[in-house]
Amino acid sequence: MSQAAQATATQAAGNGQRISLLRVLGPAHVWALGVGIVLVGEYTGWNFAADKGGALAALITCWFVGILYTSVAMIDSEVTSTVAAAGGQYAQAKHIVGPLMAFNVALFLVFAYTMLEVSDAILARDTIVAFAATEGFHGDSFIALVIVVLAWLNYRGVLMTLNVNFIITAIAYVAIVVLFFSVQPWSQGVVLKLNELVTPQNALPYGWIGVIAAFQFAIWYYLGIEGTTQAAEEVRSPSRALPYGTMAGIITLLIAAALTWYVCASLLPWEYLGITVYPLWDAAKMTGSPFLEFLLFVGTILAAVASANGCINDAARAWFSLGRDRYLPTWFSAVHPKYRTPYRSILFLLPIALAFAFIADINQAITFSILSGVLQYTFMSINIVMFRNKWPLGTIRRGYTHPFHPIPAICLFLLCAITFFAIFLGYGSQLIAMVIFYVIVSIWFHFYRYRYVRRGDQFTMPWPKPKGY
Amino acid sequence: MWFTISYIAWAISAALALWMLYDWFKTDTTYSEDQLTSSREGEIEAVSEKHKV
Amino acid sequence: MAKYTPPEQDKALQFVDVGFLILAIFGALWLPLQLGLAGAAKAIDKIENPTWELLGQNATMVSIWEKLGYTPATAHDIIQNRFHYNIDWLTLVLMAAVLIGYYVFLFWASDKEYREVIAEKFGDGK
């Protein structure tokens, strides 16, 4: 153990003066955080993949992107069960690749989650407006309500935040399962009409290039599952709870994604599926059952709320970690003495989310979020290889070791490359604008901001020196 | 009816936002900056996880 | 290696730093929206006097469209609004160059900084 870390620990135990985040969470909370953020993707967003490539493309990419995310979950579980710190992938990058990468990764995280939160708030509003069906009612107050109430919940403590998330995520998930079993999935032709809606002529309207293009929004089936790692500093046993929660989460989502596609593609023509903002709710309307319609309306709202809730939690922790290492002013690294939350980061990100929720539209916000996500996954595939090289198996204690290395890393890298190409098809200028932004802030950080950072102190894990240095 | 609900939503948002601002101000004036920013990464690691194999 | 002691940052300069980041964030997210660069590159392939048949919808699809409250005229803009995937090689090469350049810079600069961190943390001796 390093001397500095030991000294810090002793001091912490000795005077009890330090204010740190509270360690109260278990594996169920980790699941609720991961699945809570992602499940909204089944309620909206994934269906834009049908827009880009047709209904069948949405299914094919659902499987391939499922592989991508299984790799993400495996890799993430290994690294984060070893580097257990708030900030998740940020702390991983700092220990394995270096400070500039860490700074970028933290920004990927903050962007991906804040823009996801924005699209959640927009979805909640649009769903309520459609439900109200009242002339002149635009529902902007619901954007404010969702964002402010959830920020308040996050401000008041992580345990209550994730308990709430567990319950609403579970209800939204059950809603999908109930819908699936209510439409007699075993007998096509009664309610579901898959073979009449997805015909050989329209299954792939753009051909195979459409399948590639659909990768972009297929990311939305699962985006955010990697957010489980943000809870690392607040779970009671990181090396156990994080791998369990994350793996259980990805399995849950693979099932939900498959059910969602099957029901929606069997009830809605692909052109409509590609543009609706609430495919599951629309599918429920087509069944003609008022109960299912209401259930999926509630599910859509709850999924949006759960996701925004988790996003506020994660974005704030990433921002908080940047402050703690002086990558940003240390002011952001304050922890609330009573609620033990990174309250200043939560408050700082609140108006940014509100501003974008009022000016952006939903598939733009989703694209911003997806871009930051994919930039991050590309990093993860390289990161795990460097991690295994610098600290080979056996040199440090890993909470979980993922199998078949380096196959998941290679899969992840290839699928990221395909997804970049997919974004280029139809959303290219947005991608370039985004990368230019990251280049500018990277130059700013490397040549200016980094001077305020303490060098050796950034490395906080009690590990031996990395191989090759 | 939806317009009434909408006003209530604005009111709740404003009230909670004001409460957070109030609590933020109260916290920042009650505690010293050093105390508030005293959290350090890797503390628990140092106590509970011995990276020796 | 001598321990690096960072300069204390002035309160005002801290605000400038945060301000810069906020500006950059809004620039990256808001400018593309403003310039109309964001969003999908789609265009409508117009059909005069559309009928369900001309729009390529079979009986089942038509029944669903009608249940959703559409007529051939209102559904036209949804059904005929298509992507036109033609790969503009120049933009593709530009995009690849920007992306690869970005990652190369990231790893190169990170490695430089990382060596300093390790040297200070573990001392210079190998």
Nearest to A346 by CA among A165, A161, A151, A153: A151
Compute CA A28 distance to the chain's CA centroid, rounded to the nearest angstrom: 17
Buried b (16+ CB within 10 A) or exposed e, A319-339: bbbbbbbbbbbbbbbbbbeeb
What is the three-class DSSP state of C81?
strand
SS (H, E, C) A180-221: HHHCCCCCCCCCCCHHHHCCCCCCCCCCHHHHHHHHHHHHHH
Minimal C-alpha gap between B4 and chain A (Å): 11
Q: Cα-Cα-Cα-Cα dihedral of B5, B15, A344, A6, to 10°?
A: -100
Is C9 a residue whose pLDDT tops 90?
Answer: no
CA atoms within 13 Å, Cβ hemisphere of A328: 26
Is C28 a residue whose pLDDT tops 60?
Answer: yes
Kindly determine whether residue A347 and residue B31, on different chains, have CB atoms separated by under 8 Å: no
Minimal C-alpha gap between B25 and chain A (Å): 11
Q: Which distant-in-sequence residues (6+ apart) come within 8 Å of A204 by Cβ?
A: A53, A54, A56, A57, A210, A211
Tell me how far apart the alpha carbons of residues A10 and A357 are, in angstroms, rounded to a whole number: 45
* Of A374-378, B1-5, B48-52, minimum mean pLDDT range: B48-52
Tell me how far apart the alpha carbons of residues A206 and C75 are, in angstroms, rounded to a whole number: 19
Compute CA C20 distance to the chain's CA centroid, rounded to the nearest angstrom: 21
Q: Which distant-in-sequence residues (6+ apart) come within 8 Å of A371 by Cβ?
A: A423, A430, A431, A434
Report the pLDDT averaged over residues C13-36.
84
Nearest to A155 by CA among A328, A292, A335, A296: A335
pLDDT for the residue numbered B46: 52
CA atoms within 13 Å, Cβ hemisphere of A97: 28
Tell me how far apart the alpha carbons of residues A270 and A56 are, in angstroms, rounded to a whole number: 9
Nearest to B6 by CA among A140, A262, A219: A140
State which residue of chain C sits closest to A214, comparing Cα positions: C83
Q: What would the pLDDT profile of A72-114 be if each residue is shown by its tens digit?
A: 999 999 998 898 888 899 999 999 999 999 999 999 999 899 9
Cβ contact A426:C38 at 8 Å:
no
Kindly determine whether residue A469 and residue C92, on different chains, have CB atoms separated by under 8 Å: no
Helix (H) or strand (E) holding C82: strand C81-83
What ipTM was reported for this prediction?
0.89
Q: What would the pLDDT profile of A270-322 be if each residue is shown by its tens digit?
A: 999 999 999 999 999 999 999 999 999 999 999 999 999 999 999 999 999 99
Residues in chain B, total:
53
C43 touches chain A (CB under 8 A): no
Report the pLDDT averaged over residues C96-101.
94
Nearest to A469 by CA among C1, C19, C76, B51: C1
Report the pLDDT averaged over residues A371-391.
95
Compute CA A132 distance to the chain's CA centroid, rounded to the nearest angstrom: 30
**Residues of chain C positioned with their CB less than 8 A from the CB of A454:** 4-6
What is the three-class DSSP state of C43?
strand
Beta bridge partners of C43: C82
Q: Which distant-in-sequence residues (6+ apart) come within 8 Å of A447 by Cβ?
A: none
Start-end of H helices in A83-207 = 89-96, 99-132, 140-155, 158-182, 194-197
DSSP assignment of A260-323: HHHHHHTTS-HHHHTT-S-HHHHHHHHHT-HHHHHHHHHHHHHHHHHHHHHHHHHHHHHHHHHH
| Strands C81-83, C42-44: pairing kind | antiparallel
For chains C and B, tell me whether 3 or more CB atom pairs sit within 8 A of each other: no
Q: What would the pLDDT profile of A112-136 be if each residue is shown by its tens digit?
A: 999 999 999 999 999 999 999 988 8
Tell me how far apart the alpha carbons of residues C3 and A447 are, in angstroms, rounded to a whole number: 19
Helix (H) or strand (E) holding C42: strand C42-44
Tell me how far apart the alpha carbons of residues C54 and C73 are, in angstroms, rounded to a whole number: 11
Cβ contact C83:A213 at 8 Å:
yes
Among A272, A273, A332, A451, the residue to mutate for chain C (most C Cβ within 10 A): A272
CATH of domain A25-458: 1.20.1740.10
Buried b (16+ CB within 10 A) or exposed e, A125-138: bbbbbebbeeeebe
Which residue among B23, B35, B45 sits closest to A17, beta carbon to beta carbon? B35
Among C23, C29, C30, the residue to mutate for chain A (most A Cβ within 10 A): C29
Kindly determine whether residue A8 and residue B12, on different chains, have CB atoms separated by under 8 Å: no
Which residue among B9, B27, B53 sits closest to A336, beta carbon to beta carbon? B27
pLDDT for the residue numbered C10: 85
